[in-house]
A and B are shown apart, each in its own frame.
Chain A
């Protein structure tokens, strides 16, 4: 049953992505100032939203772990962080490719980009920390604490374009600008693509959670082998 739901979610995500790609490439017109390259925004912004969502969920799940001590929350946190990190990398790379054309450079050290990069490093550190601890409950506890600390960086990344004058474009979505910055058809495409990426990341998260469960099983068996020998 669970697998069937996953397949359905994955299929829905893939179909939605295909349909979105069709609209993005063939129906929406080029942007007047940027030309064709602006279409990267339809993956850049949604993938950052996906990773922010993932890190937020991981933070909540870490708090829940510390309160309730149920391993499933830890499993959920590590899966969402890892999938979130994938979308962080997608966001960084698409942003760099866009910047190469629009700014003429791959990277600039303005507040938004710097913090996005830091966020990436911090969550990579989260995965490294997990790799360095063998004992499952200590690993879950320490990782949860780090995950809560790390979320501050996500908040700063999200707000950086409002707090500093950055080279990175300011907010475009009407929920943040209170309207008027973007064509409604393009804006709704951003949300649709976000939905598609969220569906895909839900499937990836479920797969990753499953693996974390197997990993626990392997660790348990290994202890058993050591104990019996």
Chain B
């Protein structure tokens, strides 16, 4: 078969990995965003506690 057939097969397989990689990256960025938020909120709460106490 011709060259194009072969190239597109690789595009197809690459697309699978690309989409998966993009999803993993979004998961990672969400992870860091959430942990940042969590830390910030916890700090805020403990500051308030100390001010009250």
Q: Could you tell me which A residues sit within 8 Å of B by CB distance?
A: 21, 30, 34-37, 39-40, 43-44, 47, 83, 86, 89-90, 93-94, 97-98, 100-101, 200, 204, 207-208, 211, 214-215, 217-218, 221-222, 224-225, 228-229
Q: Is the CB of B5 within 8 A of A211?
A: no
Q: A35-B5, A37-B6 are in contact. List 5 more A-B contacts (CB 8 A).
A: A35-B2, A36-B1, A37-B5, A97-B8, A221-B42
Cross-chain pair count, CB within 8 angstroms: 87
Name which residue of chain B comes closest to A101, CB basis.
B8
What's the interface size class on B, roughly?
Answer: 20 to 34
- Distance A207 CA – B19 CA, assembled complex (angstroms): 17
Q: Could you tell me which B residues sit within 8 Å of A by CB distance?
A: 1-2, 4-6, 8-9, 11-13, 15-16, 19-20, 23-24, 27, 30-31, 34-35, 37-38, 41-42, 44-45, 48
Q: Is the CB of A100 within 8 A of B27?
A: no
Q: Is the CB of B45 within 8 A of A228?
A: yes
Q: Is the CB of B45 within 8 A of A36?
A: no
Q: Is the CB of B5 within 8 A of A225?
A: no
